[in-house]
């Protein structure tokens, strides 16, 4: 019996083995020159390879049947061809040079390629379109590994934020077409200033860890590259509208000429988004535009890109106190007893909805800002191996946020105290505006050489920032002899940022590539004037950073890839780190040493990968509760801290119409020796508590994202998207009463497209967020103090909306 069973198994294995076939081929140009690095992908599968240095590729262990190959290479027209495999065979693929040079190479110097040993993910234009219902860009990236998005207003429109591996947005480098988007002083990026930028974005690449050298702010945990430079060769017009819960409405219209006379193309978009928000009064009124015009020849492209936005949002920055969320009446009354809130503010909090409460009630407590971007890109293909890219940019921003301040001191604003009769008045209600008027301009360049085994890039940039900060008193209950629009502070921040890098990706065999990336970055930053607390600012800082990166990429088979890399990044303190520091206690720069190792496997119906990371910080700036000489919180350098973890990514084609893609992250983020400082209201000063090793704030130990997508036909699809975020601490003490509970949220996306005789393609879309109506908060802040010998806290949590929906209609002509 055992012999018969063994014989049967051997026969089955024999049949299976013979049922597998291979597809081999070569990609070359019309002159029969091989095109090494050409992309060869089997459509509707997870399987794809890059041609070797001789232009050859191979797919093994395929089942007999028909396959559609998509083949592409920069500078050549992409092609698709159907291959009927009844047995193993060899094919030739000949690519034709593009009629025009599209300039795709413009941003390639700062992007990771197929054989770059870093952890990255590309989000295609199609994926962006499917998810774009007007929510800010962080919500379109939520399926990326180790990613957590949050919204002040609770529904993804207005002020939003995100973290990658626990790293906040102030440490994440963001570029648009290779041009820095981060604010030079704060290092932050506010996508609310560019509403619906996703509507003109063709591709987004997210690099986790230090990544490859780029332009602008330090990549201190992740890099995000947005690209808007793709050529639309055919004329088009499109109207997109969507509306839903919280009176949310998004409208956009876009159009393009296509390629005119084989040389010119023009694209434009206008968008408007409005929403009342989930949080009380947290409305958003957003407008944006995008225009690009290009001149194309077979070897040169010149393209101008202009985009901008105007946003007016009601402030929801304070969050909801935990005592309000928990319906803790005694705790809410304590806000008045401890002089945290006025009696009126306390009464309003007690009477409010626990999940939508907003401290601010002043009618015009808004943030208003306009930012416009001007880019000019030039790309020239010197020959088939060498191309030159250069870009100029200019960004102008102007805006303010307005605040009502009750019972404010004239002395805090440097104002003369009015005298009424014989009485000197020291306080009044007032309305103030804090302005930012800034200009950012400069240029970037890259020279790229690709031939045979060598891929070499040299590039860099020069950027100048001038930011004027000032504040005015718009109104006061008692103005006295103080002039209207009294200006109580003004200071100027000036920053020069220069960087140069050289990158080499060298193939030493068909299976192994060595990668080296060396960057030098020089920063000069000065602040001069009077700050909003009337302190004199007179600071100048200079930094010189050398950021080396190196790695190895190994491809043991066509289905497997592995890599190992090391990268270093250094980051200068931001404006607040300098202005908040006490005299003589200025912060030091931070350094990150990042070690990454990864493995990836792909086949026709399955893809899977694992990435290990160890991010070791030297002098990381963190909040400890410590305050400066005037009582404001400051960030201080801690000697040793780290983030370490494993990221899992997989995709499974369950059936011809059903696929499942998911990621999971297990991590640990620690400060090795942490000391907490707590304000002592009884005795003045602060008390210090040595806590030893603690968790870094906002760094969940487990994260998971999932998308189950059913595509019954090429006309429509339905996706179930799920996100799980583990427990996070909201400060660095690892205290359970200062944490965010885990949450699990599922969203539904559906679309259906049909063609009409008069309106072209019509797409109906539906998005239902938070299907289970989960109750959760995604962000928070906390302040601790000691009073009467006991420890108390003041905090603010940011509740997210329950079940809500959007429906959309797209018309494309």
Please tell me the pTM assigned to this model. Answer: 0.92
pLDDT digits (tens, 9 = 90+) for 75-125: 788 899 999 888 888 999 999 877 666 655 567 777 888 899 999 999 998
Q: Are 562 and 616 in contact (CB under 8 A)?
A: no
Q: Which residues contact 767 (CB under 8 A, 6 or more apart)?
A: 133, 244, 747, 748, 749, 750, 805, 806, 807, 808
Domains of the chain: 20-94 (2.60.40.1120), 104-227 (2.170.130.10), 236-320+355-812 (2.40.170.20)
Q: Which residues contact 564 (CB under 8 A, 6 or more apart)?
A: 117, 551, 552, 596, 597
Reading the block at residue 94, the tokens are: 């000949």
pLDDT of residue 583: 80
b/e per residue 66-77 (b: at least 16 CB within 10 A): ebebebbbbbbe
Task: Say yes or no to pLDDT of 624 above 80.
Answer: yes
At residue 378, φ and ψ (nearest 5 deg) are: -130, 130
pLDDT of residue 771: 98
pLDDT digits (tens, 9 = 90+) for 169-183: 999 999 999 999 999
The helix (run of H) or strand (run of E) holding residue 506 is strand 486-507
- Using 50, 70 and 90 to split pLDDT, how confident is the model at 4? very low
- Using 50, 70 and 90 to split pLDDT, how confident is the model at 794? very high
- Using 50, 70 and 90 to split pLDDT, how confident is the model at 13? very low
pLDDT of residue 256: 96
Task: Say yes or no to pLDDT of 389 above 80.
Answer: yes
Q: What is the mean pLDDT of residues 249-255?
A: 97
Q: What is the mean pLDDT of residues 606-635?
A: 88
Q: What is the dihedral of CA 70, 71, 72, 73, to 10 degrees?
A: 170
Q: What is the mean pLDDT of residues 420-437?
A: 95
Task: Say yes or no to pLDDT of 375 above 90.
Answer: yes
**Choice among 436-440, 563-567, 580-584 with the minimum mean pLDDT:** 580-584
Q: Between residues 63 and 278, which one has the greater pLDDT?
A: 278
Long-range contacts of 418-423 (CB under 8 A, 24+ apart): 418/478, 418/479, 418/480, 418/481, 418/482, 419/480, 420/478
Q: Which residues contact 52 (CB under 8 A, 6 or more apart)?
A: 36, 510
Burial of 151 (0-12, 13-18, 19+ CB in 10 A): buried
Q: Which residues contact 11 (CB under 8 A, 6 or more apart)?
A: none
Residue 550's nearest CA partner among 610, 592, 488, 594 is 594
pLDDT of residue 5: 47
Average pLDDT, the chain: 92
pLDDT of residue 9: 45
pLDDT digits (tens, 9 = 90+) for 259-297: 999 899 999 999 999 999 999 999 999 999 999 999 999
Task: Say yes or no to pLDDT of 612 above 70.
Answer: yes
Q: Which residues contact 598 (CB under 8 A, 6 or more apart)?
A: 117, 119, 561, 562, 563, 609, 610, 611, 612
pLDDT digits (tens, 9 = 90+) for 645-663: 999 999 999 999 999 999 9
pLDDT of residue 472: 98
Residues in the chain: 813
Task: Say yes or no to pLDDT of 738 above 60.
Answer: yes
pLDDT of residue 100: 65
SS3 425: coil
Q: What single DSSP character describes residue 320?
A: B
Q: What is the mean pLDDT of residues 581-596?
A: 92
pLDDT digits (tens, 9 = 90+) for 435-451: 999 999 999 999 999 88
Task: Say yes or no to pLDDT of 501 above 60.
Answer: yes
pLDDT of residue 103: 56
Can you spell out the DSSP letters for 187-203?
A: ----GGGSTTGGGG--E
pLDDT digits (tens, 9 = 90+) for 758-768: 778 999 999 99
Task: Say yes or no to pLDDT of 555 above 50.
Answer: yes
Q: What is the mean pLDDT of residues 581-599?
A: 93
Q: Which residues contact 452 (CB under 8 A, 6 or more apart)?
A: 36, 53, 507
pLDDT digits (tens, 9 = 90+) for 309-327: 999 999 999 999 999 999 9
Map tokens 């790293």 to a residue.
167
pLDDT of residue 194: 95
Task: Say yes or no to pLDDT of 199 above 80.
Answer: yes
Q: Are 209 and 234 in contact (CB under 8 A)?
A: no
Residue 645's nearest CA partner among 618, 620, 610 is 610
Task: Say yes or no to pLDDT of 17 above 50.
Answer: no
Task: Say yes or no to pLDDT of 513 above 70.
Answer: yes
Residue 455's nearest CA partner among 102, 120, 79, 111 is 111
pLDDT of residue 667: 98
Reading the block at residue 348, the tokens are: 């309003």
SS3 65: strand
Q: What single DSSP character describes residue 4?
A: H
């Amino acid at each position: 019996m055992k012999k018969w069973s063994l014989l049967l198994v051997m026969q089955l294995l024999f049949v299976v083995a013979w049922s597998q076939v291979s597809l081999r081929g070569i990609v070359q140009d019309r002159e029969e020159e091989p095109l090494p690095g050409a992309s060869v992908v089997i459509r509707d599968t997870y399987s794809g390879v890059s041609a070797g240095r001789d232009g050859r590729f191979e797919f093994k262990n395929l089942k007999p049947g028909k396959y559609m190959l998509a083949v592409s290479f920069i500078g050549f027209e992409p092609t698709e061809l159907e291959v009927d495999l009844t047995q193993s065979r060899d094919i030739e693929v000949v690519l034709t040079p593009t009629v025009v040079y599209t300039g795709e190479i413009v941003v390639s110097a700062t992007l990771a390629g197929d054989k770059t040993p870093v952890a990255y993910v590309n989000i295609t234009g199609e994926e962006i379109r499917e998810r774009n219902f007007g929510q800010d860009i962080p919500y379109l990236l939520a399926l990326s590994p180790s990613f957590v998005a949050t919204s002040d207003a609770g529904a993804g429109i207005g002020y939003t934020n995100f973290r990658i591996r626990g790293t906040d947005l102030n440490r994440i480098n963001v570029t648009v077409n290779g041009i820095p988007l981060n604010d030079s002083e704060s290092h932050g990026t506010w996508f609310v200033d560019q509403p619906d930028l996703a509507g003109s974005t063709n591709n987004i690449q997210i690099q986790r860890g230090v990544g490859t050298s780029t332009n602008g702010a330090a990549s201190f945990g992740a890099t995000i590259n947005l690209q808007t430079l793709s050529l639309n060769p055919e004329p088009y017009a499109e109207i997109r509208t969507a509306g839903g819960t919280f009176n949310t409405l998004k409208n956009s219209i876009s159009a393009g000429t296509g390629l005119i006379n084989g040389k010119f193309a023009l694209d434009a978009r206008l968008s408007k988004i409005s929403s009342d928000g989930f949080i009380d009064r947290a409305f958003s009124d957003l407008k944006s535009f995008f225009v690009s015009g290009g001149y194309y020849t077979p070897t040169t492209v010149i393209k101008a890109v202009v985009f901008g936005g105007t946003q007016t949002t009601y402030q929801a920055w304070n969050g909801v106190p935990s005592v309000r969320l928990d319906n803790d009446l005694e705790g809410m009354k304590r806000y008045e007893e401890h002089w945290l809130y006025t009696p009126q503010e306390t009464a309003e909090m007690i009477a409010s909805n626990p999940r939508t409460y907003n401290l601010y009630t002043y009618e015009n407590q808004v943030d208003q800002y306009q930012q416009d971007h001007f880019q000019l890109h030039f790309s020239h293909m010197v020959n088939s191996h060498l191309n030159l890219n250069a870009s100029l940019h200019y960004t102008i921003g102007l805006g303010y946020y307005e605040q009502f301040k009750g019972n404010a001191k004239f002395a805090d604003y440097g104002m003369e105290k009015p005298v009424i009769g014989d009485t000197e008045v020291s306080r009044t209600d007032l309305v103030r505006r804090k302005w930012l008027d800034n200009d950012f301009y400069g240029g970037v360049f890259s020279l790229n050489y690709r031939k045979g085994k060598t891929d070499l890039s040299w590039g860099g940039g020069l950027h100048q920032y001038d930011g004027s900060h000032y504040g005015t008193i718009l109104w006061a209950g008692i103005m006295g002899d103080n002039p209207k629009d009294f200006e109580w502070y003004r200071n100027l921040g000036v920053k020069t940022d220069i960087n140069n890098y050289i990158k080499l990706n060298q193939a030493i065999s068909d299976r192994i590539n060595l990668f080296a990336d060396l960057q030098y970055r020089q920063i000069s930053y000065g602040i001069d004037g009077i700050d909003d607390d009337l302190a004199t600012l007179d600071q100048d800082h200079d930094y010189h950073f050398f950021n080396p990166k190196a790695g190895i990429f190994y491809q043991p088979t066509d289905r497997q890839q592995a890599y190992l890399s090391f990268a270093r990044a250094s980051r200068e303190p931001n404006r607040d780190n300098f202005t908040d520091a006490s005299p003589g206690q200025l912060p030091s720069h931070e350094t990150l040493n990042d070690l990454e190792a990864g493995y990836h496997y792909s086949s026709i119906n399955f893809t899977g990968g694992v990435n290990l990371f160890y991010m070791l910080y030297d002098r990381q700036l963190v909040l400890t509760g410590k305050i400066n000489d005037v009582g404001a919180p400051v960030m201080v350098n801690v000697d040793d801290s780290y983030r370490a973890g494993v990221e899992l990514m997989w995709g499974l084609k369950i059936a011809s119409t059903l696929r499942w893609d998911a990621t999971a992250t297990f991590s640990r983020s620690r400060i090795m020796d942490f000391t907490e400082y707590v304000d002592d209201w009884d005795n003045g000063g602060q008390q210090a508590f040595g806590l030893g090793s603690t968790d870094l704030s906002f760094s969940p130990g487990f994260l998971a994202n999932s998308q189950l997508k059913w595509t019954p036909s090429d006309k429509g699809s339905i996706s179930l998207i799920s996100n799980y975020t583990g427990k996070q601490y909201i400060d660095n003490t690892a205290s359970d009463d200062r944490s965010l509970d885990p949450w699990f949220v599922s969203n539904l996306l559906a679309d259906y497209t049909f063609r009409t005789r008069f309106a072209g393609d019509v797409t109906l879309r539906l998005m239902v967020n938070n299907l289970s109506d989960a109750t959760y908060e995604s962000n928070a802040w906390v302040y601790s103090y000691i009073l009467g010998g006991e420890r108390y806290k003041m905090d603010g949590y940011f509740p997210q909306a329950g079940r809500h929906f959007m429906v959309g209609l797209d018309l494309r002509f």
